[in-house]
Structures are given as structure tokens and as C-alpha cells.
Amino acid sequence: MGHQVVIFDFSVIRGLWETRVKKSKERQRKEKERLEQSALEKIKQEWNLILECRKKGIPQSKYLKNGFVDINEKNLDTPGKTPQLKKSHGLSDGVNKEQNKFIFQLSGEQWMELPDSLKEQLYLKEWHVYNTLIQTIPAYIALFQDLRVLELSKNQINHLPAEIGCLKNLKVLNVSFNNLKSVPPELGDCENLEKLDLSGNMEITELPFELSNLKQLTFVDVSANKFHSIPICVLRMSNLQWLDISSNSLKDLPEDIDRLDELQTLLLQKNKLTYLPRALVNMPKLNLLVVSGDDLVEIPTAICESTTGLKFVSLKDSPVETIVCEDTEEIIENEREREQVEKEFMKAYIEDLRERESTPSYTTKVMLSLQL
């Protein structure tokens, strides 16, 4: 007796996704309100006072108390608008070092380059720069040896400096939805990198072989680019657990893809695949495989009948209506916005799958045929 296939009405699934997206946004809103009411507001006042001291040439030491800024001092005028800097620390000597994180945040289209004062904050551990018009990351980033997180999404960055390879302690690099066309081979020197997000750049076609050295990587997202095949370096990332290479130009998968024996999630939708290799069955930890079904003419039966707990999801592709527009940049921007919405859409769906401990008892496998 063959396995049963359950076909869901798309409107039901989409309703579920939209509900989850709304709940997620509501949680984010509440978290934002909580942070605004927390001690972070006091920390922000400290940093504004520091910047105002520098702006007016007043010795900062005058306002230090036990190593921290005494914001009770009223000698300065109210600080004006400055780059948003957050310094999180404990006020007692017994504070755990993990709480002594220093975070730099910057957003807004008024920013076309990073502020000069950033050069002095070499102790920072996190950068969060987003929704700006910044195009380049300066070479002095090599001086930030304590940097752990580099979040640079939704800017206008067109290249990464080779000096990024000096960040030996970097764990997270997110340069999604920028204007990158390539990645420097020096990135392979960031030996402790765990998460790499290059999605939504639209123009990246290959990754340097030197990235094979990133043995700690568990998450790679290169979706919405122009890859014609899975980069060789990715196949040598032995600890990889999540690979999203959707919305590219893949025509086939390598026969040795099963060398990624730690891979749990593989997102392949919106490519040009016509078949899936049987090697996918040999990946013991793969539990979620998402593909676009319209071009597929061959799917190994073993994938659908797998007893390893693999959830196989086939999405139907609907033709995208061609927009006649002379402004190429506008077309690309529209594509980026659509990709962002679809990624949020898919993320909500995957979260729902993760919450289900097992497939329904009345079926051995579930295939979803959806119309996007």
C-alpha cells in the first residue's frame, strides 16, 4: 500500500502563514516597547552625553563616576540627535561578562557613511547597521578584534573589504539585501564564523573556495542571487545544518551533496531543477526539503517514502507577471521587496512545521502543492 498524499487548499495555508506573521510582528512590537521602558533608555542618555562632550570639546573624564557616565550632571545642554549607540553593562562588580556587550546601532537613509566617532569604539562587540545609504565598509574594521556580530542588512553596500578576514572572533555576518556582486576570499579567515547571510544581493554568482575553511558554519543563506550550482566551498562546510539557496538559477544538484551529513534543512524552491538526486536519501539528518515542483520531471520514490522523518514540500510556481519599466533599478528593488516578503512567508511556514512533533498518524508523508 503506497503512502498517502494530502493536498491542502492554499488559502488555508496562506491564512495560517499570515496569522503567524501577525503574531510574530506583535511579539516584536511588545519587545520593542519593553526595551524602551527598560534601562536601555538610561544607557542611551549616557552615550548621548559622551558624544556631546566630544562635540563640545569638554573632557569626558569630568562626567565619569566609578568608570561610568554620571548622567545626573546638568552642565551640558540637552544632547541633540546623534548616532544611536547602546552600551549594555552591569553596574555591579559581579556582573557576568556575557552581559558586558557593547552594541553599535545605526539606521536611517540620512546616513551615507559611518560616523567618524566609530573609530574610537574598538571595544564594540556588535554592529547593527540597516536601512541606510552606506555603500562601503571601511578598512579600519580590522581593528575591531572583539567583534562578534556584524549585521549590515538592507543597505547599499557594494563590496566587503579584504580586512574583514582579520575578525577572528566574528560569529555572525549578515550582509543580506545589499548590492554585493562578490565575496572576498579573506572571509575564509574568519575561522569562528557560525552564520553567514548573503541573501537578496541579486548578483552573486560564486563563492571563493577559501570559504571551505569555515568549519564552524551551521547556517548559510545565499538565496535570491545568481548561483548556477551549489558552490564547492559549501559542500565542504562539514557542520552545515541550514542551507537556503532558493531563488537562484540551479539546474541540478551535485551527486555528492550527501557529504553534508549534518544538514537538516535544505531550501531549493524557485530554481530550475528538473530532477533530484537519490543522494538526498543518504543524508541522515535532513528533515526538511523544499523545492519548486513545476520543472521537476523526476523525483526519486525513495524521497517520498523515506522513513527518516523527512518532510518533503513541493511548491507550485506561478508565472510572475512581467513589468514593463525602463528603470532597471526600480525592477531590482521590486524583486528585493518581493523576496523579503516571501522569505518572511516561508519562515512562518517552517516555524509551524518545527512545532509539529510528527506527521499525522494517518499518513507516512505529506506533500503540499501550493500556488504562490
| Confidence at residue 361, expressed as pLDDT on a 0 to 100 scale | 36
- Is the pLDDT reported for residue 113 higher than 50? yes
* Whether residues 53 and 132 fall in one domain: no
* Whether residues 180 and 57 fall in one domain: no
* Whether residues 164 and 256 fall in one domain: yes
Domain that holds residue 227: 99-318
The DSSP call for residue 280 is: G
Residue of 19 and 273 predicted with greater confidence: 273
Lowest mean pLDDT among 138-147, 215-224, 237-246, 323-332: 323-332
The predicted model gives 94-111 an average pLDDT of 72
Is 365 part of any domain? no
Residue of 23 and 148 predicted with greater confidence: 148
What are 189's three cell numbers? 579567515
Q: At what angle do helices 10-36 and 40-56 cross, to 10 degrees?
A: 60
Answering whether pTM is above 0.85, one says no
Is 83 part of any domain? no
| Confidence at residue 31, expressed as pLDDT on a 0 to 100 scale | 78
Is 337 part of any domain? no
* Whether residues 185 and 54 fall in one domain: no
Q: What are the pLDDT digits (tens) for 158-197?
A: 999 999 999 999 999 999 999 999 999 999 999 999 999 9
* Whether residues 130 and 24 fall in one domain: no
DSSP annotation string for 20-47: HHHHHHHHHHHHHHHHHTSTHHHHHHHH
**348: enclosing H helix or E strand:** helix 328-355
Rounded to an integer, what distance in angstroms lies between the CA atom of residue 304 and that of residue 281?
10
Cα 137 to chain center, whole Å?
A: 18
Residue where one domain finishes, among candidates 271, 286, 318: 318
Rounded to an integer, what distance in angstroms lies between the CA atom of residue 308 and that of residue 154?
38
* Whether residues 109 and 226 fall in one domain: yes
| Confidence at residue 114, expressed as pLDDT on a 0 to 100 scale | 95
Exposed (0-12), middle (13-18) or buried (19+): which is 211, by Cβ within 10 Å? buried
Rounded to an integer, what distance in angstroms lies between the CA atom of residue 144 and that of residue 121?
8
Is 327 part of any domain? no
Contact 183, 207 (CB under 8 A): yes
* Whether residues 221 and 274 fall in one domain: yes
What is the band of 54 on the pLDDT scale with cuts at 50, 70, 90? low
* Whether residues 24 and 159 fall in one domain: no
Q: Which amino acid is at 345?
A: F
Lowest mean pLDDT among 16-25, 130-139, 216-225, 252-261: 16-25
Residue where one domain finishes, among candidates 46, 66, 86: 66
Q: What are the pLDDT digits (tens) for 225-275?
A: 999 999 999 999 999 999 999 999 999 999 999 999 999 999 999 999 999
Lowest mean pLDDT among 168-172, 198-202, 295-299, 350-354: 350-354
Is 147 part of any domain? yes
Q: What is the CATH number of the domain that holds 258?
A: 3.80.10.10
Contact 199, 174 (CB under 8 A): no
* Whether residues 238 and 147 fall in one domain: yes
Lowest mean pLDDT among 57-71, 87-101, 206-220: 87-101
The number of domains in the chain is 2
Contacts of 209 (CB under 8 A, 6+ apart): 185, 232, 233
- Is the pLDDT reported for residue 2 higher than 80? no
What is the band of 343 on the pLDDT scale with cuts at 50, 70, 90? confident
Contact 283, 310 (CB under 8 A): no
The predicted model gives 139-148 an average pLDDT of 96
Is 354 part of any domain? no
Is 58 part of any domain? yes
Residue where one domain finishes, among candidates 22, 50, 66: 66
Q: 108-146: buried (b, 16+ CB within 10 Å) or exposed (e) per residue?
A: eeebeebeeebeebeebbbbbbbebebeebeeebbebee
Rounded to an integer, what distance in angstroms lies between the CA atom of residue 158 and that of residue 182?
9
What is the band of 43 on the pLDDT scale with cuts at 50, 70, 90? low
| Confidence at residue 17, expressed as pLDDT on a 0 to 100 scale | 74
Tell me what the pLDDT averaged over the chain comes to: 79
* Whether residues 60 and 106 fall in one domain: no
| Confidence at residue 29, expressed as pLDDT on a 0 to 100 scale | 85
| Confidence at residue 359, expressed as pLDDT on a 0 to 100 scale | 46
* Whether residues 147 and 245 fall in one domain: yes
* Whether residues 264 and 312 fall in one domain: yes
What are 198's three cell numbers? 548573503
| Confidence at residue 350, expressed as pLDDT on a 0 to 100 scale | 81
The predicted model gives 341-345 an average pLDDT of 81
Is 330 part of any domain? no
